[in-house]
Chain A
Amino acid sequence: MTFALAVDCGLVVLVLGMAIWTIAARTTFPAVAGFVAYGLLLTLVWMRLAAPDVALTEAAIGGGLTGVLLLGATSRLRATAQSAAAERPSAPFRLIVAGLCTLISAAIAAVVLLLPDPAPTLAPEAGAKLSLTGVGNAVTAVLLAYRALDTLLESAVLLLALVGVWSLAPDRFWGGAPRSLALRYRDGSLSLLGQVLPPIGIVLGVYIVWVGADAPGGKFQGATIIAAMWVLTMMAGLQNPPELGRAWVRLILVAGAAFFLAAGIAGFWLAGAFLAYPPGFAKPLIVAIEAALTLSVAATLGLLVAGPSARPVRT
């Protein structure tokens, strides 16, 4: 067994162990903590699969923001946890479900083992047209040039999810600020972290967006880091979430998708097709769209964590 394979085996054992812990833990808090560790381990798996762009996304969202969201929900739901534990399904039922899930796993494993060889791939085609887009990172080229429509729809889906979350607010609070994220038991260290880390994190986030054109990185990864910095300052109690009815909040949220859509429609006249970029202008357009999307995605992710309005509008 080679060294690399031994490392992979060790990683798989850790990932599976953490996944089993996440499902089997008796209470919610350790399960969610296990899920965060699971996300960080998956980041290493993605590196082993030669996908650093995905690894960055998984670390920032899978391990980071999802963890914050789930931990916040855990602490607010603590009182209901006890009553629900009594409704645990019976042992025979669980046994049947376990059997069926094992079957599904076995079927997927069989598919993995029977994948065609040589594997079909779009890598040569993605590489061949890379010079036309002006970007050096093939994943960014797929996201913003070849399959730009997917990314445009995704930025719309993010907004739809936010509208869904906002619509859960009671009528009397509509347009008001979400509940404060500030932790009740916070000491000086969190406050210090909330002041020292954001300047570094924001520079890092912008850097990751910028290098995303030619190296691993991109707007989603960078925007998530910026969003995480915002959430950190809110959790440290240094600032409160904004009122959701304000015009400037709405403007920042839709700016990215609106600019992307406008650039796509302009493609009809400038390059003959929706979301087509005029020759020679692909790179500047892609960077401009990424910049606009970064701000909007960061704001959307932060407000998704903050949740619906929970206070009346201040007049």
Chain B
Amino acid sequence: MSGTTLFGLCAAVLVGLGLYGVIVHPQVLRRVVAFNLLGAGAFLLFGVVARRGAEAGMGGDPVPQALVITGIVVAFSATALAVGLLLRLRAVRAAEDADR
């Protein structure tokens, strides 16, 4: 088995682990972390596909690599939005509890 295939199998396990965390964790912040874990696994699958496409003197197919770079940046902005929503939700709940 090559190292690339090994990383592919690792990515498969990471997706499953992340999904489990997203469904099972009671705390929303932990779900956000688990979702990022899942996402990193999905990106890694792209990396494996890119590495298998190594040709023409390049270490890997540059198209999936570029997609992953875009994906990592978008995943960060989505995480920032999720964290923002979470903190706002907590502030609103705290204000409601104080009113009661």
Contact = CB atoms under 8 A, between A and B. Distances in A.
Interface residues of B, number: 76
Contacts of B14: 15-16, 19
Nearest to B62: A138
Contact of A121 (B48, B61, B86): B61
Interface in A75-117: 76-77, 80-81, 84-89, 93-94, 97-98, 101-102, 104-106, 108-109, 111-113, 115
A50 interface: yes
Interface residues on A, range: 35 or more
B76 A150 contact: no
Nearest to B9: A109
B26 A84 contact: yes
A46 interface: yes
B50 A104 contact: no
Contacts of B87: 73, 76-77, 168, 307
B69 A161 contact: no
B26 A51 contact: no
A38 B11 CA distance: 13
Contacts, number: 271
Best-surrounded residue of A9, A39, A80, A301 (most CB of chain B within 10 A) = A80
Contact of A50 (B8, B30, B54, B83): B54
A308 B24 CA distance: 29
Contacts of A20: 17
A119 B76 CA distance: 30
Interface stretch (A53-61, A184-192, A240-248): A53-61
Contacts of B69: 53-54, 57, 139, 143, 218, 220
Given A97-B24, A120-B53, A307 B84 contact: yes
Q: Which 3 A-B pairs have the closest CB atoms?
A: A50-B59, A121-B53, A105-B16
Interface of B: 1-21, 23-27, 29-30, 32-34, 36-37, 40, 43-45, 47-63, 65-70, 72-74, 76-81, 83-88, 90
